Amino acid sequence: MSIAAVPPMPALPPTGRSVRAYFAPVDRVHALPTLFDPSVNGRFTASAPPAPWIGLGWIEDFARRSTSRFGQLVTGSPGTTQFQVRETVDATVSFRFKAWSKLSMALAADSQHMNLIVPAAGSVANGSGGKGVTPVNLAMGSTATFLALAASDAAGFSAGSLVTVDVDYAGQTGFVGSGVSAASVPSATAVNYDPDYIRRVSFNVARVTSVATTGATGLQLAQPLIAGVPGANMRVQPISGFVDREGGSFFQEWSALFLIDGEQGERILFHYPRLQSMAGPSESATALVPPLERIALSAAFRALPVTDTNDGEPVVCFRSFLPSPATLV
Amino acid sequence: MQNAKDTFYVALRSRLATLNPARTMMLRAVTRPGILVVEAEAPMAQPPLDAFTLNWTGFEADLQLPAILARLTCEIQYSTAGTQANAGLDRGRALEEMDYEMLKLLYPYSAQKMNYTQSPAAAMQTLVFWSEPSFGHAVVLRDRLSRTVQVTVFAFQEQGEA
C-alpha cells in the first residue's frame, strides 16, 4: 500500500511583511568581511542570527539599487548590438533604522562614531566631548558580561550607567578599536596623543545593570561586549551617550544581511559583504499623532566588491531565495 | 496595556488632587478626586457632573519595533450644569474651568509607567506618553454642557508585562 504524494503548488509570489537587518564587523586590518553562507545558515532563526551577526531589528523603506553600467559592442551597417559588456559593477542600498543604538547610529553615520566620555572636572568644552575622567583598570576575572574592578573603582559607577571598555591609545596608527575597527588614526598628533581616543571611538560599550562592591567586585553588564572577554590591558570609562559628526575622513565598513520572511515559508536574503556609508547623518520623522513623531535614522550605503571563490567573479551583493516547501521550483 | 491605562489614570488623578483639591466626587460612598475610569466602575446611566470620565476606546499596536508600541485612545468626557447658587447660569464658565484643568492635568505629557497590581506600586522601566489633547465641540443637552477630549496614549510593552 502506498500513499499518493500530494503534488506541490506552482511557484507563488513571495509575500512578506517587512525587512530585518543584521550586521557584522569587517576586519579592516586584513580586509576580511564577514561572509554569510546561505547554504549553511540560510534558515537561521530570525531573532537569533548566527555569530557574529548582530540583529538590528525591523527596518523600513528598504531600497536596493543596481547602478552597474552596461556597454554594447555595435557592428555592421545598420549597426546591431553583437555583444554586451559590463562596464562597472556598482550597487547602493538605503533604508531607515527604526531604533537608535550605538550600532545603528554608527552605521547610519558616515565617519567615526564617538562615545561621550564623562568629562573630567574643568575640561575644556568640545563638540564631541572634552577630556574624560580618569579610566579605571580591569582586575582579573572579567568576562564579556562582567567587568572585574577593584571595589573602590566599582564604587565610582552606578547601576544603569554606560561604560566604554578598551585599550589606551599608545601612539599607534591605522585601524583602532577592539572587536570593530572604529577609526583609522593617521598620526598620534592627529588625536593629540589622547590615551582615551580608542575608548572614545570604541564599539566595546555596554550598560551596567548592577555594581558589586563586596565579594566579586565589579560591574555586571546588561549585554555582552562586542569584543568578547576584555583583555587585561583594557580600561573602563563611564560614558553618557554617543555623538557623530557631519564630516570626518573615516568610512565605517560593515558586512550586512537583510532578510524577508515570506508567509508561505519562503525566505529572501540579501547579503552585502562590504557596505560603506555614502551619506552623512540624517533623520526622518513619521507622524504618530501630530506633533508627536517617531524619529528614524536614515542610512544609505555603497556596496564594495568581494571575489566569489566559486568562479573568481568580483561581486558586490548576493541575493538568495529559499523556496517554500509547498511549491514547485 | 493595563499598566499604561492605570498609570495614565493615576497620573491625572494625582495631578487633579494637587491642581484643584476642591474638585471631588462621591462615588461608592467615598469622596475622592473628580476623575474616574468608566470600565472600572459600576455601569451608570450618566457620568457624574463636574468630574472627568475616562473611556478607553481605540487600540493599535506597532509590532515591528524592538518592543511592541501600544497606542490606546482615551476619550475624556466632562459635563457641568454650573452651580446651584447661580442657577446654572455659570455653566459656560464652569466648562471653561474644566477645559483649563484638562490642559493642566495632561501636561507634562508623560509619566513613569507603574505596576499598580502590587503593593506598594512598582516603577517599571519605561515612560507612558501621550499626545496633546484634541478638544471636541461643546455639546448642550438640556441644562448640561459637555465636552469630550481625545488623547492617544502610547506605551512600550515591557518584558513579561501582561
Model confidence pLDDT, tens digit, residues B17-57: 999 999 999 998 999 999 999 999 999 989 999 999 999 99
Using left for φ > 0, alpha for ψ between -120 and 50, and beta otherwise, residue B56 falls in beta
Question: Rounded distance, CA A172 to CA A151, Å?
Answer: 32
Model confidence pLDDT, tens digit, residues A12-67: 889 998 999 999 999 999 999 999 999 999 999 999 999 999 999 999 999 999 99
| The three three-digit cell numbers of residue B93, written as one number | 464658565
pLDDT of residue A1: 65
Q: What SS3 class is residue B19? A: helix
Q: A interface toward B at CB cutoff 8 Å?
A: 17-18, 57-58, 60, 98-99, 288-289, 291-292
What is the number of other CB atoms lying within 10 angstroms of the CB of residue A183?
24
| Residues of B whose CB is below 8 A from A58 | 64-65
Q: What pTM was computed for the model?
A: 0.89
Please give the C-alpha separations between residue B13 and each of B3, B20, B52, B133, in angstroms, as whole numbers: 15, 10, 9, 17
CB proximity B131 to A under 8 Å: yes
Q: Is the pLDDT of residue A304 over 90?
A: yes
| Residues of B whose CB is below 8 A from A288 | 71, 131, 152, 154
Q: Is the pLDDT of residue A4 over 80?
A: no
| The three three-digit cell numbers of residue A45, written as one number | 532563526
Contact B131 A288 (CB under 8 A): yes
Confidence of residue A161 (pLDDT cuts 50, 70, 90): very high
ipTM of the complex in this document: 0.81
Percent of chain A having pLDDT more than 70? 100
Model confidence pLDDT, tens digit, residues A267-298: 999 999 999 999 989 999 999 999 999 999 99
